[in-house]
């Protein structure tokens, strides 16, 4: 797996009757006469959430289920160990996975388009500002269930210039990776970014996103500038 990538967070809510936006990230797999329903109940990084889905399927259904993401082709695959199954992602999750409109009767499904929930990066230049005490980051946007209302008082701002391909940039700007909570992986370090872990991950909330410039003979490389706010201890 590429060690330089951006992924969104996903989660689900079980109450479908409340009169407010519902964050729906449920996924079902049916093998034979048995159906397994998987969801994440707390905000979870996209690729981890997918593993939670397939682990749930494996625990209930006859086959063993796996998920993989190929950063070179930028496609997600969900497979069983042998049994044919129907895969039913709810809401916008199908688009987030990059899957075709119909996923029935096969042992494996590979996305037909770039996933919206994870983006491979060619490079990322990060500039950090000191903690901004007393200011607020307010996210009042609601898009693809990515953010509703959020604010906190102390945060560190990271300004990130991300270079990626045109296809990946289009997916990136669709909403999942430019709204709400995201995780930017800068290297192999599994710890949060800090002076001791310079190539760790940055875990925060997007407060700005815009296209910076394009490069290449066919302008196939795109720079997307992100502002990510990381909460600080009060």
Rounded Cα–Cα distance for residues 175 and 141 (Å): 10
Q: What pLDDT is stored for residue 87 in this prediction?
A: 97
Q: What pLDDT is stored for residue 119 in this prediction?
A: 95
Lowest-confidence segment of 10-19, 98-107, 121-130 by average pLDDT: 10-19
pLDDT in tens, 31-50: 999 999 998 877 889 999 99
Instruction: For residue 179, give the nearest of 207, 210, 214, 150 by alpha carbon.
Output: 207
CA atoms within 13 A on the CB side of 99: 22
First to last CA, the chain: 35
Q: What pLDDT is stored for residue 84 in this prediction?
A: 97
Instruction: Calculate ∠ Cα 40-3-225, nearest 5°.
Output: 85
pLDDT in tens, 113-148: 999 999 999 999 998 776 554 445 454 444 555 554
- Mean pLDDT of all residues belonging to the chain: 83
Tally of CB atoms within 10 A around 10: 29
pLDDT in tens, 179-211: 888 999 998 888 888 778 878 899 988 888 889
Q: What residues does each domain of the chain span?
A: 5-110, 119-231
């Amino acid at each position: 797996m590429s060690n330089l990538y951006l992924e969104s967070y996903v989660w689900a809510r079980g109450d479908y009757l409340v009169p407010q936006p519902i964050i729906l990230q449920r996924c079902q797999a049916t093998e034979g006469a048995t159906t397994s329903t998987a969801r994440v109940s707390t905000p979870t990084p996209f690729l981890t959430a997918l593993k939670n889905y397939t682990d749930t399927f494996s625990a209930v259904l006859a086959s063993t289920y796996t998920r993989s993401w190929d950063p070179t082709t930028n496609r997600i695959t969900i497979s069983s160990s042998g049994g044919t199954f129907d895969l039913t992602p709810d809401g916008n999750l199908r688009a987030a996975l990059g899957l075709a409109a119909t996923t029935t009767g096969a042992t494996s499904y590979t996305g037909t388009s770039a996933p919206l929930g994870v983006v491979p990066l060619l490079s990322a230049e990060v500039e950090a500002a000191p903690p901004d005490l007393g200011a607020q980051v307010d996210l009042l946007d609601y898009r693809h269930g990515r953010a509703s209302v959020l604010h906190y008082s102390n945060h560190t701002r990271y300004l990130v210039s991300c270079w990626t391909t045109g296809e990946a940039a289009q997916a990136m700007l669709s909403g999942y990776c430019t709204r709400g909570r995201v995780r930017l992986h800068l290297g192999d370090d599994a710890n949060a970014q800090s002076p001791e872990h310079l190539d760790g991950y940055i875990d925060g909330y997007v407060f700005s996103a815009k296209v910076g410039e394009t490069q290449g003979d066919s302008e196939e490389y795109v720079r997307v500038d992100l502002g990510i706010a990381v909460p600080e201890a009060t």
